[in-house]
Structure 1
Amino acid sequence: MTRGWLLSCGDALIDFMPTESKDGTRVMEPIVGGSCLNIAVAMARLGAPTGFVGALSTDMFGDMIAQHAEASGVDLRFCDRLPNQNTLAFIQLNPDNSASYAFYDEGSAARAWRFQPERFPWAEIAALHVGSTTLIDDPSSSETLALARAAKAAGVLVSLDPNCRPILVKDRNDFRARIATFAREATVIRMSDEDFEFLYGTANTDTIAEGFLAQGVELVVLTRGRHGATAWNKAAGGVHIPAPEIRIADTIGAGDTFLAALLVTLQDRGWLRSLDALLPSILGDCLRFAVQAAAITCSRPGANPPWRDEVA
């Protein structure tokens, strides 16, 4: 590995998507997904040297995920293959094109993953992303936190996306406390408007963002679906970019693609180590690239991030 690799640690699963067969029968089609795997796939397709951290089953679903990741250019050297079953999720599409999920994750390979410090050549890694279902409870949460702390101690950028899954959260206050702990290790925090509401209710977004910046986070981003994205840092204050008008197939993987594209374009421009100094014009350009990439994902079914030549 060479300096500049981007790693994504967390969930990798099979989404069962509702679709219609040729004879008109409603069926559930297995498609590779998982927020953190989606981020790895999107970063790799956008041209960044990318690795996925976590665990996949040795079953056929684990094979599907591994083949999908490697076909997109994701390096799996930090990914364990375990005999545990793979995480599965069943999706229901809502009238507004958003998705609802039912997860099957008990005793999964993802939950059996353990952080092994000696496996990570931090001097060759530019950024680590953590998020989603692996943050909710132990042992996954504690193992991922140990990884994030090791990355931060080594001077590696840490990206955090709570990607809240209320259906899996048994203790909301405990989950909020865990996210607050992860936020203290983060350089970048991205949330959707739904994540923000679940974590902070009707609190003022500027106030929450300023609180993160005061504790050491360098860039805070809130994505608002069709209403675009807003980002805060010390140099630029708040910067908002509208979303393009598109025909939406569904919104699965849109936020994952946005964050992946943001990290890639920041790396391309050499700003990963100076996020708090980004001026409004530069930050706006980076957000615009991320919004365009996310819009492409929304224009086609499932989590299918664009390749670099598809994004203006």
Structure 2
Amino acid sequence: MIVVAGESLIDLVPHGNGEPLPTLLPRLGGGPYNTAVALGRLGARAAFCSRMSTDGFGEALLTGLRDAGVDTGLVARGPEPTTLAVASLGADGSAGYGFYAEGSADRLFELPPRLPDAARAVAFGTCSLVLEPGASAYEALLRREAERGLFTLLDPNIRPGLIPDADAYRARFAGWLPSVSLLKLSEDDARWLGGVPEGPAAVVLTRGDEGMSVRTRTGTEVSVPATQVRVADTIGAGDTVNAALLHGLAARDALSADGMARLDAEGWREVLDFAARAAAVTCSRTGAEPPYAWELRQDD
């Protein structure tokens, strides 16, 4: 089982042609949520660990997880509202966000009991590691599960508008790295952090339409090109990469530091290529709509 821990929210995605106030279409979202849904659609045994609202949006988000085959037994519920993220789309389909998160349900996440024995990996990222008081609980979960030997993936997916003290966040981020097996960064993340850090067993860097690369602690370096596609928007693309990386590593029995060390350059190339193809499907659709396994099988 691969557990994804973090927020779910509703993306409000603009729809229209240049109107001053475009129609905003609600889409299920949140970085960790998208990763969990993508894992389920790819056929992985996945679970979501979070706190979700009992409002209508929360019910829709929970249904989305179940429809993807994601276990929701680690989801707590609360009456507070669901976080909203208003997306703004660039000419190239890239997305920026404004968040309405004050007093929302996911911010009140509390450290759960030990994860199930079936858990092999746990993934973290985005708003959940920034917004207190939940951020401290997610951080405690990261450290606890890494200490007991679970494989951990971190995708900070940095949203500068949510970070009141950049230096404090960078210091906190550095403190997470000893507990991280696989770090996934976008080029924007790396620039904001001041470079690609050392520490995790492997670091994957995504470069948008220029593809992605991996650098491992054992010295393996591999790059693959992006899969060319007509881009509707990039919402959820990085989250799909997270899921595809985890799924690809699990298929090669490499969900451990030792397992990744045994993976040769060709193995990493296959994993990265799978992730690039999966992300391309997501980019071809409006909102975070990751692919199903059958959509990628024809290329395997």
- Per the normalisation by structure 2, the TM-score is 0.94
- Structure 1 residue 20: Cα displacement: 3.7
- Structure 1 residue 177: Cα displacement: 1.2
- Give the letter for the 2:41 counterpart: R
Aligned counterpart in structure 2 of residue 268 of structure 1, from 231, 251, 254: 251
Equivalence for 2:295: 310
CA distance in 2, matches of 1:234, 1:18: 42
**Quick check: 1:235–1:278 contact (8 Å CA) kept in 2?**
no
Equivalence for 1:233: 216
Equivalence for 1:113: 109
- Structure 1 residue 137: Cα displacement: 4.2
- Structure 1 residue 227: Cα displacement: 0.4
CA deviations 1:150-205 (Å, max 9, x no partner) are 211221101100000011111000111121122121000000011111111xx4x4
Equivalence for 1:188: 182
- Structure 1 residue 26: Cα displacement: 3.3
Aligned counterpart in structure 2 of residue 285 of structure 1, from 262, 270, 275: 270
CA distance in 2, matches of 1:194, 1:95: 17
Equivalence for 1:47: 43
Equivalence for 2:225: 242
Equivalence for 2:144: 150
**Quick check: 1:117–1:147 contact (8 Å CA) kept in 2?**
no
- Structure 1 residue 76: Cα displacement: 0.7
Q: Does the alignment pair 1:9 with 2:5? A: yes
- Structure 1 residue 236: Cα displacement: 4.8
Aligned counterpart in structure 2 of residue 199 of structure 1, from 186, 193, 196: 193
**Quick check: 1:235–1:279 contact (8 Å CA) kept in 2?**
no
Q: Secondary structure at the match of 1:117?
A: coil
Q: Does the alignment pair 1:29 with 2:14? A: no
CA distance in 2, matches of 1:112, 1:158: 22
CA distance in 2, matches of 1:160, 1:91: 23
- Give the letter for the 1:64 counterpart: A
- Give the letter for the 1:153 counterpart: E
Q: Percent identity?
A: 38
Question: Unaligned regions of 5+ residues in structure 1, if any?
Answer: none
Equivalence for 2:122: 128
Q: Secondary structure at the match of 1:15?
A: strand
CA distance in 2, matches of 1:7, 1:53: 7
Equivalence for 1:71: 67
Q: Which runs of 4+ in 1 moved over 4 A?
A: none
CA distance in 1, matches of 2:217, 2:159: 30
Q: Does the alignment pair 1:301 with 2:286? A: yes
- Per the normalisation by structure 1, the TM-score is 0.91
CA distance in 1, matches of 2:218, 2:174: 24
**What's the RMSD between the two structures over aligned residues?**
1.4
CA deviations 1:274-305 (Å, max 9, x no partner) are 11222111111111101100011011111000
CA distance in 2, matches of 1:20, 1:145: 39
CA distance in 1, matches of 2:8, 2:65: 10
CA distance in 2, matches of 1:147, 1:57: 21
- Give the letter for the 1:263 counterpart: L
